[in-house]
Amino acid sequence: MIYVTNGRFAVTVWKKCEAIFDAPILRAQLAELEAAAAQPDFWNHPEQAQATIRRTNALKALLDPLDQIAAVIADTEMTLDLMEMEEDPAQAQAAADDLQTQLKRVEVDLQKLEFQTLLGGEFDANNAYISLNAGAGGTESCDWTDMLFRMYRRYAEAHAFDVSILDLQPGDEAGIKNVTFMVSGLYAYGYLKAERGVHRLVRISPFDSNQRRHTSFSAVDVVAEIDDAASIDIEEKDLRIDTYRSSGAGGQHVNTTDSAVRITHIPTGIIVACQAERSQHKNRDKAMKMLTAKLYDWEQDQKRKEMEKFYGEKGDIAWGRQIRSYVMQPYTMVKDHRTDHQIGNVDAVLDGQLDAFIEAYLKKGKKDEPAGKDTGE
């Protein structure tokens, strides 16, 4: 807790803040990026320019709140000086109470900024592609996949992220077989990478007339959107491209042309699909961008020779592979098996309140990470 002690604010908190973020270094980096953006030929290389802008926005997302905290601290110290000269004890106490409230808000803001220091991966500031795939459990798992899709949409809404559906295949009876969507916003991938793996649901099935308890599984895959300039060589001969009629709500919404695109990368078996646009050309462009991101992620895992990091956590979409369990009967609890963090309010979690799980995962990753190592994971 931050306190007003002996009429003087604990400036050590601010020094801690500066140390956590290496603020002088970040400001120097920001100045270099802004100088580059001011050059007349800045947009001659659009991909490099966009990368510069993304990095600039990421730095400002750290430095702007830091500057706001600095301003509050400066005002606080000035007020404390005035309080020392205040002769009316009642007014001095009122000012002290007001300062204490402000300092508590500063503490909360500082904690948020400290959390952002966990997002230091190469692509953490980027958008994220998320794919949900129903596993063992039939209709139950399709319904569970639909519930997860809603959970991530609610999470995105709460964090001012945009969600755009790229491909969706409904279940035969209910729910969703699989869905791929993009979450757009600063640090979307940095936060949501914690969700990759198999998610398990235990509940009394609404589809079972005998009211028996069922277990359902759904796999969540998360990769970062990356620049086309990334060193990914995709040859046409390695691709199988299929077109099909995109699904719709029926009536006037049915697409009467084969505009949806599915691309299979034959050497790796990676499959991507997009039916978000009415234009086949636009769907192909989006699918290729997604394939580039997935191939980059796959190649990084190959280089590290840790394929379990890509598939091991996820593995088969069935029992024993789950990273998190959501239990609704006979008790209520959500538990992450990687961090042991658990919450009893299942409804709140399914309503998108995932921050505690994500923070626990990122903190564990930071703790386990070897000194000096900076990965894009």
Residue 141: count other Cβ atoms within 10 Å of its Cβ.
26
Residue 130: count other Cβ atoms within 10 Å of its Cβ.
25
d(CA 322, CA 344): 18
User: Amino acid identity of 21?
Assistant: F
Architecture of the structural domain at 128-368: 2-Layer Sandwich (3.30)
Q: What pLDDT, in 10s, does the model give residues 347-356?
A: 999 999 999 9
Q: Are 69 and 17 in contact (CB under 8 A)?
A: yes
| CATH, domain 4-116, list 1.20.58.410, 3.40.50.410, 1.10.1740.10, 1.25.40.10 | 1.20.58.410
Rounded to an integer, the average pLDDT of 350-372 is 82
Mean pLDDT check: name the lowest of 14-18, 73-77, 178-182. 14-18
Q: Are 229 and 238 in contact (CB under 8 A)?
A: no
Residues of the chain with CATH 3.30.70.1660: 128-368
Query: Over the chain, what is the mean pLDDT?
Result: 80
Peptide bond preceding 24 in cis form (omega within 30 of 0)? no
d(CA 165, CA 177): 14
Q: What pLDDT, in 10s, does the model give residues 164-190?
A: 999 999 988 889 999 999 999 888 999
In eight-state DSSP terms, residue 1 is -
pTM: 0.72
User: Amino acid identity of 235?
Assistant: E
d(CA 143, CA 129): 21
Rounded to an integer, the average pLDDT of 214-220 is 91
User: Amino acid identity of 104?
Assistant: K
Residues of the chain with CATH 1.20.58.410: 4-116
Structure tokens given for 377: 């994971």
Q: How far apart are the first and last CA of the chain?
A: 32
User: Amino acid identity of 234?
Assistant: I
d(CA 140, CA 150): 16
Q: What pLDDT, in 10s, does the model give residues 286-341?
A: 999 999 999 988 887 776 554 344 444 445 555 557 899 999 988 999 999 999 99
Question: Edge-to-edge strands of the sheet including 239-244?
Answer: 239-244, 260-265, 270-274
d(CA 187, CA 127): 7
Mean pLDDT check: name the lowest of 58-67, 124-133, 188-197, 213-222. 58-67
What pLDDT, on the 0 to 100 scale, is given for residue 230?
Answer: 55
What pLDDT, on the 0 to 100 scale, is given for residue 138?
Answer: 82
What pLDDT, on the 0 to 100 scale, is given for residue 108?
Answer: 72
Residues facing residue 162 across a β-bridge: 184
Q: Are 29 and 7 in contact (CB under 8 A)?
A: no
